[in-house]
Chains A and B, each alone.
Chain A
Amino acid sequence: MIIGEGKPINEILEMILKHKKIIVAGCRGCVTVCSAGGQKEVEILSSTIRLAREKDKAPIEIFETTLERQCDTEYLEQMRNYIDEYEAVLSLACGAGVQFLAEMYKKIPLYPAINTNFIGVTEKQGIWSERCQSCGNCMLERTGGICPITRCSKSLLNGPCGGSSDGKCEIDSEIDCAWQIIYERLMELDLMERFEEVEDIKDWSTSRDGGPRRIEREDLKL
C-alpha cells in the first residue's frame, strides 16, 4: 500500500492561516491502514487545528469527512453537495488523491495534510518500510522475491557491492543489504545457479524515465 506520514502541524496551520471555514477530508484507503489519513487522523488533526486556532483567537469551522477513496471520482463526487460552502479543503489522502480532488473541484484551494512517502508494508504496528518503487517491470521471480531496485540503496541489478558488511548496507547499519538477503533466500530455495546469470541493463522506460505513466484496458472501459 501507499505509506504516508502527517505533515508537521505548524506547516499545516501556515497553509490554512487565512481560512475560517474548511473541510478536512480523509481517505479510507491506504492512508487509513498506515494511520496517516483515515477517520481517526481526521478527528485528531481537526481537533488540533481548532485548539491551535482558538488559542490564537482566530477560530476556525471545520467539516470533517472521510471518503471511501480519494483516487476515484465516484467517491469524490460525494463532496459536490457541500464543497462550495467552504473556503478550502485540507486533504489527508496520498498525493494521487489530493491531485484528483484538485482536478475535480477547480475553484477551491486544496492543501495536502500528509507527505506521501512510499509503497510499502506494515512490518509491525507502528513500523512501515518500503518494498516497491513501481519500476513497471517486475523482476522478483529472478531475485527470490526480494526487490533489489527498492531494497538495495544503489538499486544494483548484480550485487552486492563492496559496501555490504555483516549483512548490512553501508549507508545505515539498520538497513539490510538486499543482495545479502537475496543470496540467503536463493540458497534456501536451492537456486544458487541464478548467480551465474548476469542481469542485463534494465529498461527504465517503464519507470519514471518514460514520463508520467498510464494504463488503458479496453476490456474494462465502459
Chain B
Amino acid sequence: MRAQYPASIRIIKVPCTGKVDLIYLLKTFETGADGVYVVGCEEGNCHFVAGNLRARKRVNRVKEIFKQIGLESERIEMFNLSAGEGTKFVKIAEEMTERIKNLGPSPISKKNIGSDNQETVSINSNS
C-alpha cells in the first residue's frame, strides 16, 4: 500500500493508548500542536483489555478542560481502527487535518517545534 497521509502530521508511537496520560495530551498542545488525535485499537480488541477505553476517557477529559478554558474541544479526538486498516488511517489523518485547517492555528504559541506550520500530532498504538 502506497497510501499517503498529510505531511503536517507527526506520529508518536505508544505501546498501547492506555499509556496516554492526560498530561501527555496537554503537553502536546503546550508545545504548539494545533490538534491531537489518539488512534487506538478497535473497542473490545485491546490486548491489554481496556487501554483504548481509558484513552477515550482521557481524551474526553481534555475536551472538557478545553471547553472550560475556551479552547476548541474539536482540536482533540479519539479514533479506533485495527492495524490492518491503512486506508482508514489515511482517511482519519485527512479528516483531522481538514478539521484543524478550518479551526486555524492554535492560540498557544509554538515553543519547541520551531515552525509556524500547522502541526497535528497522532498518538498511535497501531504500528
User: Which of A's residues lie within 8 Å of B, judged by CB?
Assistant: 8-10, 13, 40, 43-44, 47-48, 50-52, 54-55
Which one, B19-27, B39-47, B87-95, B118-126, is touching chain A?
Answer: B19-27
Q: A8-B68, A9-B68, A9-B69 are in contact. Are A55 and B108 (CB under 8 A)?
A: yes
Tell me, in angstroms, the Cα distance from A2 to B26 when the chains sit together: 28
Secondary structure call for the A interface: helix
Query: Distance in Å from the Cβ of A32 to the closest Cβ of chain B?
Result: 15
Are the C-beta atoms of A44 and B69 separated by less than 8 Å?
no
Please give me the residue from chain B that is nearest to A47 by CB atom: B26
Which A residues touch B21, using CB under 8 A? 40
Known contacts A43-B23, A51-B30, A54-B107; can you find 16 more A-B pairs with CB under 8 A?
A10-B68, A13-B69, A44-B26, A47-B26, A47-B30, A50-B30, A51-B26, A51-B69, A52-B70, A54-B30, A54-B108, A54-B109, A55-B69, A55-B70, A55-B71, A55-B108
Contact with A along B10-33 (1 / 0, CB 8 A): 000000000001110011011000
Query: Distance in Å from the Cβ of A6 to the closest Cβ of chain B?
Result: 11
Q: Tell me if B65 is interfacial: C-beta within 8 Å of chain A.
A: yes
Query: Distance in Å from the Cβ of A50 to the closest Cβ of chain B?
Result: 6
